[in-house]
Amino acid sequence: MGDKILLAHGSGGKLTHDLVAKHFLPLFDNSFLRQLDDSAVLDLNGRLAFTTDSYVVNPIFFPGGDIGKLAVCGTVNDLSMSGARPMYLSLSLIIEEGLSMSDLNFIMRSARDAADEAGVKVVTGDTKVVDRGSADRLFINTAGLGVIRPGVDISGSNARPGDRVILSGPIGEHGIAVMSQREGLRFSSPVESDCAPLNGLVEAILDSGVEIRCLRDPTRGGLAGTLNEFASASKVGIRIDEKSIPVGEAVQGACELLGLDPLYVANEGKLVAVVDPGGAGRVLAAMRECRYGGGAVTIGEVIAEHPGRVVMSTLMGASRIIDMLVGEQLPRIC
């Protein structure tokens, strides 16, 4: 199967990174693309962030959201993780013949509400309809443009030994919400997706005046994937503390039932920040004042040892290497 695309190539894990490194970067290599951040930072009489994404979540409705809300929030968040203020989005639809107008209208209203909350405008788009059976009801492609304030330099390659690693809240809620809806699972405590626009939270972080080295929303590949990306890009080690990582009781129970590790489960309303150690307290205080940052905690630090590796201090007092997934725990979650 080495010459075939697998679902795992879209997981955000090792196969995704290999696909990009071997098949895309050699063809399109340039200084912007080479950074492999969530947005390309451009200088066009001022610094801009530009991003694009496609959404193929299955099912298109899930507890806490739908594909329309997900598409807008995901694009807003990708821009925000470069320190940009999101301004304009495109929204293009690939619709399978047979999708009901009521479902389409609901999804579009959901996308509009998310755009209104984030303060962005949808300024262009496109619509295509394909034969029944050629798509799973609806796919959405987006692009986004944002403005970066002067003095901000955020990238996954900026982490330095001593920096603190901050997580904005409990992990795993989006992936478990989508999986439970897909498989018809019912838990004693329902799990809802954390899907949300994080640009307001990022603005508060930047307003703290602390030097922010890295920002990312841990979507595909989860928290583990994001930390491994930082460690690899910055050529540093990262040590995290298992007892400090917040996981809701319902998510933890679902993961135990399904044999999943919450460190690898996708999120759509959380961020990871790597910040200057002297200002970590100010960043935490600023985040906790925000709607989507009330559960912010410090979960670890950047270290000089083990470059390119993420090491976790476990509840048992041992150390465990947290590697990037090779395959896919939960396909089609965004």
Q: What is the mean pLDDT of the chain?
A: 94
In this structure, the chain runs to a length of 334
Pairing of strands 297-303, 164-167: antiparallel
Q: Please report the pLDDT score of residue 33 as a whole number.
A: 87
Residue 167 to residue 211: CA distance in whole angstroms: 16
One CATH from 3.90.76.10, 3.30.1330.10, 2.30.40.10, 3.30.420.40 for 7-148: 3.30.1330.10
Q: Six-digit token pair at 178?
A: 């989508």
Condensed to tens digits (0 to 9), the pLDDT of residues 47-87 reads 999 999 999 999 999 999 999 999 999 999 999 999 999 99
Among 56, 54, 47, 39, CA closest to 217? 39
Tokens 């806490």 locate to: 64
Distance, in Å, from the CA atom of 17 to the CA atom of 121, rounded to the nearest integer, reads 32
What local confidence, expressed as pLDDT, does residue 43 receive?
A: 82
Residues 191, 213: Cα–Cα separation, whole Å: 32
pLDDT at position 201: 98
Residue ranges of domains in the chain? 7-148, 164-321
Calpha distance 84→95 (Å, rounded): 31
Q: What is the pLDDT of residue 2?
A: 66
The structural architecture, per CATH, of the domain 164-321 is Alpha-Beta Complex (3.90)
Tokens coding 145: 């443009």
Amino acid at 171: I
Cis ω on the peptide bond leading into residue 170 (within 30° of 0)?
Answer: no
pTM for this prediction: 0.90
Encoding tokens for residue 298?
Answer: 């410090």
What string of H, E and C letters represents the secondary structure of 160-204? Answer: CCCCEEEECCCCCHHHHHHHHHHHCCCCCCCCCCCCCCCHHHHHH
Residues in a beta bridge with 85: 147
Residue 227: closest CA among 193, 198, 282, 270: 270
Give the Cα separation of 318 and 323 in Å (integer): 16
Its sign, for the CA torsion 261, 263, 265, 270, is positive
Q: What is the DSSP letter of 244?
A: G
d(CA 68, CA 13): 25
pLDDT digits (tens, 9 = 90+) for 230-275: 999 999 999 999 999 999 999 999 999 899 999 999 999 999 999 9
Could you give the residue ranges of the DSSP H alpha helices within the chain? Answer: 14-19, 25-28, 67-80, 101-118, 173-183, 199-207, 222-234, 249-258, 280-288
Q: What span, in angstroms and rounded, lies between the C-alpha atoms of 194 and 181?
A: 14
Residues of the chain scoring pLDDT < 50: none
